[in-house]
Amino acid sequence: MELKIIEKIKKELGHSIALKKYSHKAKEQKSFKNNFTGNYNFLLLMPVNEEHFRESFKVIEFLVARQKNVTLFIRDFKVSLLKKKDKLNIIDYGINDFTKLYLPSKKICEVIAEKKIDVVIDLNLEDNIYCNVAATHSTAEFYIGFTRGKQDKFFNLLIVNNENNPAFSYENLLNSLQMF
């Protein structure tokens, strides 16, 4: 029981540090007008939740069909579940890529920083501070994600999140992307 409490405190501490240190990037106002069509390099932060993971494939298919360069930030054990891997770039992370405060390791942040990224889309419908912090190390100007808790501070564009129906949430995202 004590171990669970200590782990929870470590996660909360990591979350607080992340909000203070990394959420500043998305506070800058950006114009999305005509920018989606001109941006070619997308980093998709893949959901950890299994149902959300499966439903998020339609976003990948949408971007690939529009000839965008798509890089997935994904847990290492989920890579084998992907279809059409040859059209995707993959940055996988595992248990060794977490710090003691459950934030991304320096190594994984450097891998992301080396990639040319124009737009980050967080496909997590649930809080995932690890992915948000990792994405702040990218070269992206645009951060798109779903409304949820304090992590809204990481995004320039927020999409309404329907937690009971992930398919509806991803459809909202696709409809929003089609406007640009």
Q: Which amino acid is at 72?
A: L
Indicate the number of domains in the chain: 1
Q: What is the mean pLDDT of the chain?
A: 84
**Average pLDDT for 48-68:** 93
Q: Residue 171 — pLDDT band, cuts 50, 70, 90?
A: very high
| Residue 69 confidence (pLDDT) above 90 | yes
Percent of the chain with pLDDT over 70: 81
Q: What domain range is 49 assigned to?
A: 2-178
The SS3 of residue 8 is helix
Over residues 97-108, the pLDDT tens digits come to 998 888 899 999
Q: What is the pTM of this model?
A: 0.85
Q: Which of 23-37, 62-76, 161-175 has the highest mean pLDDT?
A: 62-76
H helices present in the chain, as ranges: 2-22, 35-38, 50-55, 57-65, 106-114, 129-135, 166-178
**Which CATH number is 92's domain given?**
3.40.50.2000
Give the pLDDT score at 47.
95
CB 118 within 8 A of CB 141: yes
In this structure, are residues 144 and 69 in contact, taking their beta carbons and an 8 Å threshold?
A: no
The three-class DSSP label of residue 94 is: coil
Rg (CA), the chain: 16
Q: What is the structure's pLDDT at 160?
A: 81
- Which of 31, 11, 20, 48 minimizes the C-alpha distance to 136? 20
Q: What is the predicted pLDDT for the residue at 15?
A: 62
Q: Cα–Cα distance between 109 and 94 in angstroms, integer? A: 13
